[in-house]
Amino acid sequence: MSAMEKLNGKVWKFGDDISTDHIAPGRLFHLRTNLPEMAKHVLEDADPEFASKMSVGDFVVGARNFGLGSSREHAPRIIKLAGVSAVLAKSFARIFFRNAINVGLPVLECDTDQIDQGDELEVDLGAGVVKDVTKGIELTFTPLPPAMVKILTDGGLVDHYKKHGRIAVDDV
């Protein structure tokens, strides 16, 4: 993924306090070694139809405190494996935010109140702009630090490490 890439897709809107258990249900813990299978169940406790109806490139849009709960790295990983291009929310749980960056999933903090289920979005990662094509409005998001953009551009922390052979203090 290029830091300047534009992402396009449809919105799947969720509310406040979407937990890692909503994203990666604990009852499916036995699938933790088969993440592609687990991804077929992503967010099913928040919206049972999400995984079967979303399209590659779509956006998950939350409100406050997205990703709270346990530090399950599986949660952002299966969101990415399902094909979600980015998660937008007013705020993220700290561990979820960092795990998302580490697995190469863009997580963008912005005011999501004006974005509705089914809206078409265009997100310009380089410019820090979310355009709601359906409504003809533009929103900005908090820019990610350059080190996080590098990690995302490289596809996640493991790929970043493979590419550069090290993780410098300024990379994290």
- Most distant CA pair in the chain, distance: 44
Task: Give the domain range for residue 119.
Answer: 6-142
DSSP string, the chain: --TT-EEEEEEEE--S--BHHHHS-GGGGGGTT-HHHHHTTTTTTT-TTHHHH--TT-EEE--SSBTBSS--THHHHHHHHHT--EEEES-B-HHHHHHHHHHT--EEE---TT--TT-EEEEETTTTEEEETTTTEEEE-PPPPHHHHHHHHTTSHHHHHHHHSS--GGG-
Domain count for the chain: 1
Read off the tokens for 107. Answer: 């997580």
Cα of 73 vs its chain's centroid, Å: 12
Mean pLDDT across 1-21: 85
pLDDT at 87 over 80: yes
138 part of a folded domain:
yes
82 part of a folded domain:
yes
Torsion region of 48: left, alpha or beta (phi above 0 gives left; psi -120 to 50 gives alpha): alpha
pLDDT at 70 over 90: no
The average confidence (pLDDT) of the chain is 90
160 part of a folded domain:
no
| CATH number of the domain to which 126 belongs | 3.20.19.10
147 part of a folded domain:
no
Give residue 38's pLDDT band: very low, low, confident or very high (50, 70, 90): very high
